[in-house]
């Protein structure tokens, strides 16, 4: 059990929309794989530290997801929440157990003063 269990319930196969603070705590505890679902160009220009890029619009999305561990907790984000919400639903349909969707996306993350990796 983590400290976050007191904040919200981890429901297997349910999408948990999390605040920036909750997402940061999950990341600090190394409890999630962070996935940026935006385009490769958007990811390259700036992204959250340690995030990997799996574009929700990728034609190979299903093949990529089939290779991933469905028991590994995932935190998805996009610019403001629309793409990550769509991706979270795909993850749910594919049988992933713990899905976290960052409310407000990278925009809210930056607005809170948290670090992003920016291409120079």
Mean pLDDT of 7-32: 86
Helix (H) or strand (E) holding 101: strand 98-102
Strand partners, 4: none
In whole angstroms, what is the distance from residue 20 CA to residue 41 CA?
23
Beta strands at 117-118 and 98-102: parallel, antiparallel or unpaired? unpaired
pTM of the model: 0.88
Cβ proximity of 26 and 100 under 8 Å:
yes
What CATH fold (topology level) applies to the domain 7-118? Oxidized Rhodanese; domain 1 (3.40.250)
Instruction: Say what the pLDDT of residue 10 is.
Output: 58
Strand partners, 47: 117
What does the pLDDT look like over 42-83, one tens digit per residue? 999 999 999 999 999 888 999 999 999 999 999 999 999 999
């Amino acid at each position: 059990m983590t400290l976050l269990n007191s904040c919200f319930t981890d429901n297997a196969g349910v999408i948990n929309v999390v605040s920036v603070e909750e997402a940061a705590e999950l990341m600090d505890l190394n409890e999630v794989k962070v996935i940026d679902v935006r385009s490769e160009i958007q990811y390259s220009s700036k992204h959250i530290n340690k995030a990997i890029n799996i574009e929700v619009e990728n034609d190979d999305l299903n093949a990529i997801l089939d290779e991933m561990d469905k028991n590994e907790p995932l935190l998805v984000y996009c610019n403001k929440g629309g793409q990550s919400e769509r991706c979270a639903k795909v993850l749910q349909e594919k049988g992933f157990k713990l899905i976290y969707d960052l409310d407000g996306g990278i925009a809210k993350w930056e607005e809170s003063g948290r670090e992003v990796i920016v291409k120079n």
